[in-house]
A and B are shown apart, each in its own frame.
Chain A
């Protein structure tokens, strides 16, 4: 396993693409969060704005970049024929997939932590200037609050799980383009479809099943009762999607020719 990990790490470290993607993840996540923060003010907001969730809005965009990383880690190997060398060097295919998962997961864990902390810092700096002060019953964003810490740590885990989901899907369909289309379709289409299905209980079930709406329940810190699914249960749903994708991807890798 160690040599496999080392090989995967070398493959990622020695090309420029992944570092640009990780940089873009942080930059775009913080940029969208800043847009959301700039657009909200106490004066024209509803009561009880969920400040940690608002500060973490950028995850909606950041996850798309993380998905590219998860997809190209295996998709580009198929594209350039590198997969044959990889599998010749490490014939145990589950080991290859596991090594890729560990390396990608670790990188996204580190990057996601930076991005999430930067988002919360932006919220801490911007929100008091927009009227979200103690005088209006809004505390300064701080990781010392249990729910804010949960939202922050959960968002990092969310990004890691999205990367693993993408890796699994790419291993299963063996094409970067198809894989990224499927992953973004899974993430973004569910809420759009849930918004138009006719019956409220269908809507609720769709929101409980969808990887993005369920997974992002982890960011909610106010009015938890109105959520279709609890924060950790929601992240569990996403984890189930990622596991399923990795299993299918691993099976395809195992059963088909490189």
Chain B
């Protein structure tokens, strides 16, 4: 009697349906398609290549002497107390004052001139002065200033009357406190008083010199015992239009001061005039001057004391290749799911791992890790390379903190990953590659095309960059818009309507929403 043979049992260990296996399966499905891998690597290379192309840009050439070589250089940009790029050009009637005290003045007139047609090629002062018209720009400034010294970028506090923004207390370039509105004239002069007590500078205003109203106060940490204090006048360049990339026109302002008084430990000595930062800011209309007769000072100046705009490049300027990368990862993300439907592989996938939410999670994890990694390698090379080329070619780079730099580099890679996730989710929902790809490209890339080609009015493009997934591009933003500087703050120039993380959150919300919908539909529908 022969023994009954034992039923066959495979020697292989039983397969497991763990998440690790699922990840491995999805990774295999991704990396074994040669076309996809080639496209991904090509996208990474294009991001680096575009950084090199976009930044190979000779800004200005400066020749020190007739025989010295032409070197690329940008105009000098001073930096403020907290390291930001600033404009610091004005006419300063000053004297050195020691200790605490206060200075009072009456402003009885503020008028100005605006260059009629500023030709960026003609730089000689005479030509610009020849064509001016009377006019006061909104942020023309005249008043009192207490400043660490006469070097550009040093700490200051200033109380001023402006062209059309009333009385202002401004300090250390970025801070701006509003006082009473209204323009000054001989009929309605304005009294200003700036008092120092240690680090604290307090500004007060009055319409009659008797009843004073406090405008605000500024704390200038580490202000030296001896400061330069006195009268100043300045007037920033204007841009005639809000949209077009037109060159700015210089302007100048003239103010009449009287009843100059010094109190406290401050005692009157001889005044001297200096044009702070003359010739370093373009365009200025005049370097400024002052005349004193009796107690009356007539001062004129040109320039601005404010954060600098339109002087340099940002890390985002090196990342134009992002859009090439976006289109590639969007196509890839959609195909990662739609190709399964097209080839019927989805039935095998779901038979092997019936818990569908986990399948989608594995796909998201694999796809986002791969796109993020490729993106991160590309941006980590592209941004420093682009910045180096910009510097070598004589461009000014706005000072950007290490954290912000990391945010731009890693955030841009995260943009690629999120775009891929959005495409994967929409591909799951629509099961059609063309529809999913167009939807995501229209949502992320198209708003930027509309911004760059200026096809949309500024207001409309700002709404698009708040409400569509394209808001995520704000993660590249390193510039801050200041209301006290008149400038066309458009997304095309790097000023987004949302803060970096807020914009990024909008994109994340879209990706989460699409993923949620994808999970629900993947569970409910037959494959």
Spell out A's residues near B (CB within 8 Å).
35-36, 38-40, 44-47, 54, 57, 60-61, 64-65, 67-68, 71-72, 75, 79, 176-181, 184-185, 188-189, 191-193, 195-198, 213
Contact = CB atoms under 8 A, between A and B. Distances in A.
Contacts of B324: 185, 189
11 contacts: A46-B242, A46-B243, A57-B450, A64-B438, A64-B442, A68-B435, A178-B35, A181-B328, A185-B324, A192-B449, A196-B317
Contact of B455 (A36, A44, A179): A36
Contact of A68 (B56, B57, B434): B434
Interface class of chain A by DSSP: helix
Contacts, number: 119
Contact of B459 (A39, A68, A75): A39
A188 B441 contact: yes
A193 B328 contact: no
B433 interface: yes
B57 A35 contact: no
Contacts of A191: 449, 452-453
A198 to B, nearest CB: 4
Given A185-B324, A195-B452, 13 more contacts: A35-B460, A35-B463, A35-B464, A36-B456, A39-B459, A39-B460, A40-B459, A44-B459, A46-B243, A57-B450, A176-B432, A197-B54, A198-B57
Interface of B: 35, 50, 53-58, 241-244, 317, 320, 323-324, 327-328, 330-331, 334-335, 338-339, 342, 432-435, 437-438, 441-442, 445-446, 448-450, 452-453, 455-461, 463-464, 492
Contact of A189 (B241, B327, B433): B327
A181 B327 contact: yes
A79 to B, nearest CB: 5
B438 A195 contact: no
A132 B463 CA distance: 22
B457 to A, nearest CB: 4
A180 B437 CA distance: 7
Contacts of B452: 191-192, 195
B30 to A, nearest CB: 15
Contact of B433 (A176, A185, A193): A176
A176 B430 CA distance: 14
Contacts of B342: 79
Contact of A177 (B242, B338, B445): B338
A177 B453 contact: no
Contacts of A193: 50, 320
A45 B57 contact: no
A68 B448 contact: no
A67 B446 CA distance: 14
Given A178-B331, A188-B323, A196 B434 contact: no
